[in-house]
Structure 1
Amino acid sequence: MLTRILTAIIALVLFIPIILIGSWPLAIVMTSLAVIGLAEFHKMKKITITSVPALLSLIGVALMVLSVYFPVLFAVEVFTRTISLVMILLFLYSIAFTRLTTQDIGEITLIMTYIGIGFYSFVSLRFSNLPLLILVLLVIWATDTGAYLIGRKIGKTKLAPNISPNKTIEGSIGGTILASALAFVYLFYFPQSDSLFANFLLVIIISITGQIGDLLESKIKREYHTKDSGKLLPGHGGVLDRFDSLLLVLNLLFILGIV
């Protein structure tokens, strides 16, 4: 537990200034994290990082995040063309090297897209709406903390026993309540809408989506028989372990056109 706490403190001390600075330092850090996160997935799939499939997708995810510097419409073109290009090149590679299956290509392309859009959206949101980015981080942190503390105290009903046995419905609800309480104070000073209901609904959506993202990462790790996605953050695991909730929330905000 001490290692986990110390890692979290050090990460916050380093991470918060990067968010506040924004600009190219943030883009470089987020691109690096996206590449590391995708490399963690390759490791779970037992794909060598220096292999052609891995390198193609790592370059692809980097291009997706860095496309934040292009105009919005062109950024979308970079997304679609990068995904299509990586997919086609992987198909061609699989013809010559049949050990790479179409299922492998689908998984690699899917996770590359998921991670790429997530970290792109982080940088984009920092550029366009810093208060909303802080709200997202606050809600996810509060939900995670509340779910853990309340779940340990009164949690009895399993939320998803086949995926994450330690999570409970009581903890999940408690986490959302804590996040809503803290977000209510924050939104008093930095409202995202003139409608109180719209602000409340946004918080609930972020909290629930974040918890689903956590479960999604747990499901992926179970499928690949892995406890942690990586070892970058002692006590926390890897990039995918730490950004699991955030990635799904950011993908949803991207789909909704908020990013």
Structure 2
Amino acid sequence: MAEEKKPRTAEIHGQPWGARARDWADIQEGACRPVYLAVFERVGLRSGAAYLDAGCGAGMASQIAAERGARVSGLDAAENLLAIARARVPHGDLRVGELECLPFADQTFDLVTGFNSFQFAGNPVVALAEARRVAKPGAYVAIVTWGTPEGMEAAALLAALRPLLPPPPPGAPGPFSLSDEAALRTFASGVGLDPAEVFDVDSPWRYPDLSTALRGLKSSGVAARAIEKHSEEAVDAAHATALARFRQADGSYRIGARFRCLLSRA
């Protein structure tokens, strides 16, 4: 296999994203529920449809799809997250693996989604090409990424960790690398997908108190890397400072966030 196609998503992301899997599942993942529901409504996910959740995490999207009657398959780099996903979707086919080398046959799925996952792949273009390969002709492939950072409150929480993270490799894409609509469409068409509708979904982050907010925010793989390089105390301090302006009168926190979705056809 050529070096530029070498799968390396799991080895990069498996350990950090699984480090605080239960906090991710119980606190942070719920912020994504609105975008899961919006995508399934737009594509008309139906009972009996074969669905692949590429980068399924703790399985909330997979669970929603299963409740709608879909036949669910999923893949993730983190075994700890998959353990939760398997409990949520006991009849699903959920596997540890590489986004760049999906362990499924050609033209298998009626819907493939990448909820904030393709841009984390070691080789995003290869990962998306794999999604197209396993999608049936004419099936939807949904690419979901962050909305544009301008005016998005959650961008302040992401920026808060930047000084604590190791330097990214030269040329590494940032978290908003696919947020621009033109870049997103080019990403899809470059692997032979037919880009169609782009839409944004508001998915605010809500926490009842500071302690819960800190647990949720440091459950991400990005936060795990910052903790490894510095300390949990440093990460908590950075998050607490960034959170201060989002504190509500009752002591809860609400941070505006949005996702950008591209529905494309295989």
Confirm or deny a common fold (TM above 0.5).
Answer: no
Task: Tell which structure's C-alpha radius of gyration is larger.
Answer: 1
Higher relative contact order (CA 8 A, sep 6+): 2
The structure where strand makes up a greater share of residues is 2
